[in-house]
Structure 1
């Protein structure tokens, strides 16, 4: 009888030891997971010091949160650069150079095509000022597709022409953001869908 009681006590002690070990492992894993999550959260926080050395917390956001807005801004910026021109050869070169950082070779192809057709020479000879107004930019974030709608004004000495500009293309995410491409996006497969005059007002020379 005594031997049986001893065996039961040994079994009970064994179960208690095993249970304690399993509980310790579970608690350790739980603490490790919580510590890992805290580290991840802390890495998203940046403290900025003002002039008085007072720390302000700035939280890091997931890059995908504002991506559609960045896509729209990127597309708008490219079109503003490409279609806003003045009768100044250096200004045209500057605009085209800045625009080419935002697009693949399809942008260079359109630029070279316009240059071969004498488009930029006509701007210089007629003292034309070209500006563009964005109507809307449609973005399909899943397909990385966009369509741009805008109106371009061509102001010459003799007339003012307004034309619709509709283009489309795709967006490619880059692994690096640079000073020349702050959104880390590259426009690809860009093409003009529509480019037609909707108004042509002749100026009266006095």
Structure 2
């Protein structure tokens, strides 16, 4: 009888220990899952300082902001590529910045213009080129775009306005300091580049 009672007590202790162990495992796993969820939520939140006051903002994914980032990337490239001044160092600087945003199709067009003496002509005529973006049509599914803009070319004696339309596609790449949007323009080409209006500058 004593042995039977002892066996029952041992079984009871084993059951209690097993339940305690299972409970510890459940609590541990629950704690790990809760902590991981909290860390993930914390990574999605960013604090921005407004003077000395921290303001909580939510970080969005690239999928949520793809349209905005794609259009910004395309506009940035065209700004660097088509904004020119009669300064060889400035031209070199803007072209280097532009080449970080595009594949070899941009470099090919730059080299073609350079071989034709286009940039040397800018220096010789003291021309100033400015670009104005009218609109950018972006297809989210195919990651293709069409850029519509106007270019203002100011020389000593005249001001010329040209219509510019280009097309290309976008490819995702890692974000870097020189490519903050994490996109690369590929297969870029000029569809239209024609004169709109030319007027003579008044000389006083």
- Structure 1 length-normalised TM: 0.77
Offset from partner CA, 1:137-168 (integer Å, 9 cap, x none): 11111100000000001101121111001001
CA distance in 2, matches of 1:125, 1:59: 51
Return the offset for 1:48.
5.7
The alignment partner of 1:169 has SS state of strand
Equivalent residues in 2 for 1:32-47, closer than 5 Å: 37-47=37-47
Q: C-alpha offsets along residues 55-82 of structure 1, whole Å, 9 cap, x if unaligned?
A: 5433222221111101001100110111
Q: Distance in 1 between matches of 2:47 and 2:200?
A: 59
Q: How far 1:50 moved relative to its partner?
A: 7.3
Q: State the 1:122 CA deviation.
A: 1.0
- Please list every run of 5 or more consecutive structure 1 residues that lacks an aligned counterpart in the other structure: 1-23
* Residues paired across the two proteins, number: 186
1:72 alignment counterpart:
71
Q: Distance in 1 between matches of 2:150 and 2:201?
A: 20
Deviations 1:113-139 (A, max 9, x none): 001111111111111000011100111
Correspondence for 2:190: 192
- SS of the residue corresponding to residue 65 of structure 1 reads helix
Task: Tell me how far 1:30 sits from its aligned partner.
Answer: 8.9
Runs of 4+ in 1 over 6 A off after TM superposition: 27-35
SS in 2 for 1:142: coil
Structure 1 window deviating more from structure 2 (107-116 vs 57-66): it is 57-66
Q: Paired residue for 1:89?
A: 88
Q: Does 1:131 align with 2:130?
A: yes
Offset, 1:200: 1.6
Q: Report matched runs for 1:93-108 at 5 Å.
A: 93-108=92-107
Q: Decide whether aligned partners of structure 1 residues 50 and 86 sit closer, same or farther in structure 2, where only a CA change above 3 A counts.
A: closer
Q: Deviations along 1:24-69, whole A, 9 cap, x unmatched?
A: 9xx98999877654443233224567776x6543322222111110
TM-score, reference length from structure 2: 0.78
Task: List gaps (5 residues or longer) in structure 2.
Answer: 1-22
Distance 2:125 2:31 in 1: 74
**RMSD over equivalenced CA pairs, Å:** 3.0
Distance 2:184 2:128 in 1: 27
Q: Please list, as runs of the form range in 1=range in 2, the aligned pairs for 1:1-206 lying within 5 A after superposition.
A: 37-47=37-47, 56-178=55-177, 180-206=178-204
Structure 2 counterpart SS, 1:85: coil
Q: Is the deviation greater in 67-76 or in 41-50? A: 41-50
